[in-house]
Structure 1
């Protein structure tokens, strides 16, 4: 009787007794490292990677674990793309626009001035052409991207002095995240790209005149209200900020289909959880900041108009000089036009009405 027939007729007990037990292939444990661009103190944005890690471990029954490392532990905050690309770590969690210096098209995957809000951007990536276009772009860096959270619309930052007109931007040393600095530069400002964990000290010492980070909850944690009295809105450079998980292409290819699906599902969970946390926690933090005498002010219309024009001029130049930008941005902007039309009829009108009522 051959081995297969023996197993069929004798059953497992008989096979074991016969000493011919079939080979058992135990699945090897998978251990990845994730480098974050954010400090541990920010439980919202850094926490997205922790949500991801926890979900991966639970869905895999503990067979797939991802250790999460804050900015500076394994590599600098702005070194994570190189780390993933060269395989130093299997993955990273970051804000794509930090890497506009490599190619301006990185910013489109995160946030560009006067870009889409969070729902619109997620729609473009998940159900529009955004996911396909960004995957094609990141492949040049041996990276596969996954959604990693969204902050929603951000505040316009903390200023030592009032901003009354576009002239007040001239000469302003402004810590502003990534790509938006190119617009501030066109307006005469001096952009500074400083990691989140280093902003307070720079603002306190007067190394910079103003700084933006995200919104009330995170900004309060970082203590910006203690060193700058004026808090402006909106952050026109970030109608939303899409965060991403970057995974090394070779590492992802080495996973089973099941584990690839786990990575995708865990990324979605982190994406939804992160925005929910910001939406839930920002209102209370804003109330506390106002109670602490923070002066919350809207940017003047003249500043918004000048910023918009500078942004459109920049995009026009990039369409001529950067083929990657043109390919992705053309689709992005067409999608945004339709989204704005739809939101004007439904979401926009509803939100405008509700904000006029006292509940």
Structure 2
């Protein structure tokens, strides 16, 4: 998908959309899925269409899901409210966008220095996370599901090199979720915006730097045209879960087998979406370096340590949040993070370190 192709689709105005009453005919439901993404944006836009198609297929066509990209029915950042209020039946987005609803929501998407994509599933399924996810979103008349993950994100695109923590102070930087709070504690001027807006802000000079996702998606959006220094690791988002949330009334009206179809459609896409990101990021990165002149750089160790300390302050603040449910979410997350972190040096970390050694293979 070329950048110009999906940007054209994103320009479709909301005035062209119609707000039809949900139809149930011959046992079939017609559901509207609204998304936070331009149509077929490499990564999340592609994943959203896959989810719409899979729900339709697994329901045997008894739920027909039509996807509306950002701006076609509601703005991208309006999908949460649209589904909560019943304007649409479900949305595809990321929890990192909904911090204004509750800080506790942010824990389900990504946590600075937190859980990897596979560990996120471990917390949700085996550590009590899903019950807390359901409880939080239930406040907003939503039934939530994780349905994909970008895997490790990048620290992003910088016009100037970062050599010390002092270089971060006053830096106008695009990010979202808890990473925003981490960066703010380091004196960065954080701004939240979509990918297309980030490109324009970098181009105009309104931003000095910003992160979006990773090489596959970022190259499609053309960030390399306006900033050449591409930094890793993206410690603000060691993974970033994508979610589907269904209007609770619409979900509760479903027969049990259709509820299972929606649930399994989300669950069954998590790993394929995650691995598509990983594979296509790996394919896109060499091209960015060799053909587009991108300079790949690692954040200095003192910067990473400062970010880690700032992230610790963010979590400490959340442990004292006025919302009792948010406090329970944080404690559950921290318990699972400790459990899995103590095991991984023997398991995945050990394997990755062994694979990186210099031997003939």
In structure 1, C-alpha distance between the alignment counterparts of 2:125 and 2:71, rounded to whole Å: 31
Structure 1 CA distance for aligned equivalents of residues 269 and 118 of structure 2: 15
Inter-partner Cα distance in structure 2 for 1:317 and 1:147: 26
Contact 2:318 2:330 (8 Å CA) reproduced: no
- Number of residue-to-residue matches in the alignment: 334
When residues 123 and 180 of structure 1 are mapped into structure 2, their CA distance, relative to the original with a 3 A threshold, is same
Structure 2 match to 1:304: 304
Q: How does 1:235-250 map to 2 (within 5 A)?
A: 235-250=234-249
Rounded Cα–Cα distance in structure 1 between residues aligned with 2:41 and 2:297: 25
Q: Secondary structure at the match of 2:160?
A: coil
Gaps of 5+ in 1: 1-25
Aligned residues: CA RMSD: 1.4
**Residue number in structure 2 paired with 1:194:** 193
TM-score when scaled to structure 1? 0.90
Q: Could you list the per-position Cα deviations for residues 219-256 of structure 1 after superposition, in whole angstroms to 9, with x for gaps in the alignment?
A: 11111111101100011111100111011110100111
What is the CA–CA distance in structure 2 between the aligned matches of 1:329 and 1:39, rounded to whole Å?
32
In the other structure, the counterpart of 1:11 is none
Shift of 1:41: 4.2
What is the deviation of 1:27?
A: 4.5
Give the gaps of 5 or more residues in structure 2.
Answer: 1-24
Look up the match of 1:113.
Answer: 112
Q: Which residue of 2 aligns with 1:317?
A: 317
What CA deviation, in whole Å up to 9, does each residue of 1:315-342 have, x standing for no partner? 2122213322211011101101111121
Q: Does 1:184 align with 2:183?
A: yes
| SS of residue matched to 1:57 | helix
Deviation at 1:351, TM superposition (A): 0.6
User: Residues 179 and 72 of structure 1: is their aligned pair in 2 closer, same or farther, counting only changes over 3 Å?
Assistant: farther
User: In structure 1, what is the Cα distance between the partners aligned to 2:240 and 2:39?
Assistant: 19
2:333 matched residue in structure 1: 332
The answer to whether the 8 A contact 1:56-1:263 is kept is yes
Which residue does 1:294 correspond to in 2? 294
Is it true that 1:220 corresponds to 2:219 in the alignment? yes
- Measure, in 1, the Cα distance between the counterparts of 2:340 and 2:356: 21
Deviation at 1:194, TM superposition (A): 0.4
Structure showing greater Rg = 1
Secondary structure at 2:320 match in 1: helix
Q: Which residue of 1 aligns with 2:254?
A: 255
Q: In the superposition, relative to structure 1, how do residues 42 and 356 fare at CA in structure 2: closer, same or farther (>3 Å)?
A: farther
SS of residue paired to 1:260: helix
CA contact (8 A) 2:178 2:314 kept: no
Alignment partners' CA distance in 1, 2:146 and 2:84: 18
1:44 CA drift (Å): 2.0
Residues in 2 aligned to 1:72 and 1:159: alpha-carbon distance in whole angstroms: 28
> Normalising by the residue count of structure 2, what TM-score does the alignment of the two structures yield?
0.90
Return the alpha-carbon distance in structure 1 between the equivalents of residues 62 and 85 of structure 2: 25
Q: Measure how far apart 1:63 and its partner are.
A: 2.3
CA contact (8 A) 1:151 1:278 kept: yes
